[in-house]
Amino acid sequence: MPRNIVIVGAGINGLVAANYLKRSGYTVTLI
């Protein structure tokens, strides 16, 4: 099952969320 996440608005909170999700095994795309 794919675990893809798109985060729109990569301010500091978006970057922190992306880092957490990436470490949890998700594929993260920041826009």
Residue 28 CA to residue 1 CA, distance in Å, equals 15
- The 3-class SS string of the chain reads CCCEEEECCCCHHHHHHHHHHHHCCCEEEEC
Q: Which pTM was predicted? A: 0.75
H or E element: which one contains 27? strand 27-30
Instruction: Give the pLDDT confidence score for residue 20 in this predicted structure.
Output: 96
pLDDT digits (tens, 9 = 90+) for 1-31: 789 999 998 799 999 999 999 999 999 999 9
Look at the block and give the residue holding tokens 């922190």.
Answer: 16
Residue 3 CA to residue 20 CA, distance in Å, equals 14
